[in-house]
Structure 1
Amino acid sequence: MSLPSRRSILLAGAGTGALITVVGTASAASAEAVRYYDVAPGVRLNVRGGPGTNYPITRVLSEGAKVPIYCQTPGTTVTGPYGTTNIWDNIANAEFVSDAYVYTGSDGYIRPRCQV
């Protein structure tokens, strides 16, 4: 028998937030498995605080990095090893990289759009 897992989710609305806790078994609470995607070879990739080159760099990924993509959103158009695109990949909370540097095997969206 699995022990219930807990996840807290912050819901925002009308300028205030509410914190709720979701309780369920590990199998019920788990979403699809996280897949990691290769960053272009030889690239040290800037991670930004939002989906565009106007956002501050929060860190730099080392060569050979792999990233999860939780959601994708339009932003600044960037040209990189995998073409020209305005798609930005959300790789962690408030961390985005241009899809032009991530090998996804597609020129379009492969993950849900980020909820703003």
Structure 2
Amino acid sequence: MSVDRVEEAAGTGADSEAMTAESAVRTYAVAPGVRLNVRNGPGTSYGIVRVLPEGTRVPIFCQTPGTQVSGPYGTSSIWDNIDNGEYVSDAYIQTGTDGYVAARCA
């Protein structure tokens, strides 16, 4: 196999780069039966910007410490950044662990 064919097989085009970036974002389920408040900061003192409907899955781009909250998945002070300036308590997100699953927010 020539070098050219190896590169083609590896998918070095822009389409494969876009697919890699898209597949890198994992989503997690919000606790069943919960309509979850989304806040503009990592804590219950921050304003509610929207409410997620039941059955929603969310991406976690980064995580940061904040107000301690008790929910279906325990008590946690971890807050998940699910969009630009939007946070939810990790106590309501099924990540499979009590710890961090994403990088800390800058």
TM above 0.5, one fold?
Answer: yes
CA distance, structure 2, for counterparts of residue 73 and residue 89 of structure 1: 7
CA distance, structure 1, for counterparts of residue 25 and residue 64 of structure 2: 18
Residue 27 of structure 1 aligns to a residue whose secondary structure is: helix
Tell me the residue number matched to 1:41: 32
- Please show how residues 1-116 of structure 1 align to structure 2 within 5 Å: 2-3=13-14, 27=17, 30=21, 33-115=24-106
Highest RCO, 1 vs 2 (Cα 8 Å, sep ≥ 6): 2
Q: In the alignment, residue 2 of structure 1 is paired with which amino acid? A: G
* Structure 1 segments of 4+ aligned residues over 6 angstroms from their partners: none
Q: What is the TM-score with the length of structure 2 in the denominator?
A: 0.81
* Unmatched segments (≥5 aa) in structure 2: 1-11
CA distance, structure 2, for counterparts of residue 59 and residue 34 of structure 1: 21
Q: How much identity, in percent, do the aligned residues show?
A: 64
Q: In the alignment, residue 27 of structure 1 is paired with which amino acid? A: E
Which of the two has greater helix per residue?
2
Q: In the alignment, residue 70 of structure 1 is paired with which amino acid? A: F
Residue 17 of structure 2 aligns to a residue whose secondary structure is: helix
* Unmatched segments (≥5 aa) in structure 1: 4-24
Which of the two has greater strand per residue?
1
